[in-house]
Amino acid sequence: MTADSAIPRHVAVIMDGNGRWAQQRGQPRGAGHRAGVKATREIVENCARAGVGYLTLFAFSSENWQRPASEVGLLMDLFMRALGKEVADLDKNKVRVRFVGDHTAFSDALQREMRKAEVTTASNDGLQLYIAVGYGGHADITQAVRALAEQVEAGALKASHIDEAAIAGRLLMAGVPPPDLFIRTGGEQRISNFLLWDLAYSELYFCDTLWPDFDKVGLDAALRWYAGRQRRFGRVLDEAS
């Protein structure tokens, strides 16, 4: 038996390798981030075309704050500009955009722009695009557990009623089916604190392509690989099925 459906319902991507892409060309890392914007636009278009329902893109991790201030500043600037430029097209293509992560350290202007993108696209029923910025898997689970603990403290919830569904229901991706296919570009084979809870049974695909070079051909290769996977979720599959 191959993957339940040939097309993953939810694809989650660590868009990695911008810095190395630039370094290979003797350019500053920022040039790689700039080049990565095009690959980001393309994967959104190509996932929508392929019939993927949900796409989650890891754009900035809670740990990426530890990068030099100049690189962080440039990334924030790029988000701001990309949002300003892309939202009209996303909206036209029926893409709904949402941001997950801790955004409190972002500038007010950027937070406003993010909110505007969410509001503008709120009624779109095409590709559901989640952008993980200021996101960390540990922080996500921590805030979920804290929210439940507060309910217990207030007497609104019994500790014995905290089950997996209660935790999942408090995560930032609550209500979204977990990723079927995880893709990481850039050659590293690690999760880097992305969706720790949600990735429990995702098919993990790693490729060496650096993010700015990841195009339709790369996505199609990942989708083909996914279609050939056998997902067991811990069960033994009937030989005949």
Greatest alpha-carbon pair distance for the chain in Å reads 60
Half-sphere exposure of 160 (CA within 13 A, CB side): 0
Residue 62 has phi, psi (to 5 degrees) of -60, -25
Closer by beta carbon to Mg ion, 36 or else 178? 36
Residue showing tokens 């909110």: 115
Catalytic (active site) residue 77? no
Query: Contact between 22 and Mg ion (CB under 5 A)?
Result: no
Single out the residue of 12, 74, 75, 195 in contact with ligand IPE (rule: CB under 6 A): 75
Query: Contact between 186 and ligand IPE (CB under 6 A)?
Result: yes
Query: Contact between 91 and Mg ion (CB under 5 A)?
Result: no
Long-range contacts of 70-73 (CB under 8 A, 24+ apart): 71/29, 71/30, 71/33
Q: Residues 31 to 50: which contact Mg ion by CB under 5 A?
A: none
Of the candidates 26, 47, 24, the residue with the CA atom closest to the CA atom of residue 128: 47
Query: Contact between 16 and Mg ion (CB under 5 A)?
Result: yes
Residue showing tokens 């993957």: 3
Query: Contact between 30 and ligand IPE (CB under 6 A)?
Result: no
Minimum distance from residue 42 beta carbon to ligand IPE (Å): 16
Minimum distance from residue 187 beta carbon to ligand IPE (Å): 9
Query: Using CA atoms, how far apart are residues 230 and 1, in angstroms rounded to an integer?
Result: 6
Catalytic (active site) residue 64? yes
Query: Contact between 113 and Mg ion (CB under 5 A)?
Result: no
Minimum distance from residue 16 beta carbon to Mg ion (Å): 4
Closer by beta carbon to Mg ion, 16 or else 91? 16
Single out the residue of 46, 61, 62, 202 in contact with ligand IPE (rule: CB under 6 A): 61
Q: Residues 105 to 134: which contact ligand IPE by CB under 6 A?
A: none
- The secondary element (H helix, E strand) that includes residue 182 is strand 181-184
Q: How many CB atoms within 10 Å of residue 88? A: 11
Copy the structure tokens of residue 237. Answer: 């599959």
Indicate which residues carry an active-site annotation. 16, 64
Residues that bind Mg ion (CB under 5 A): 16
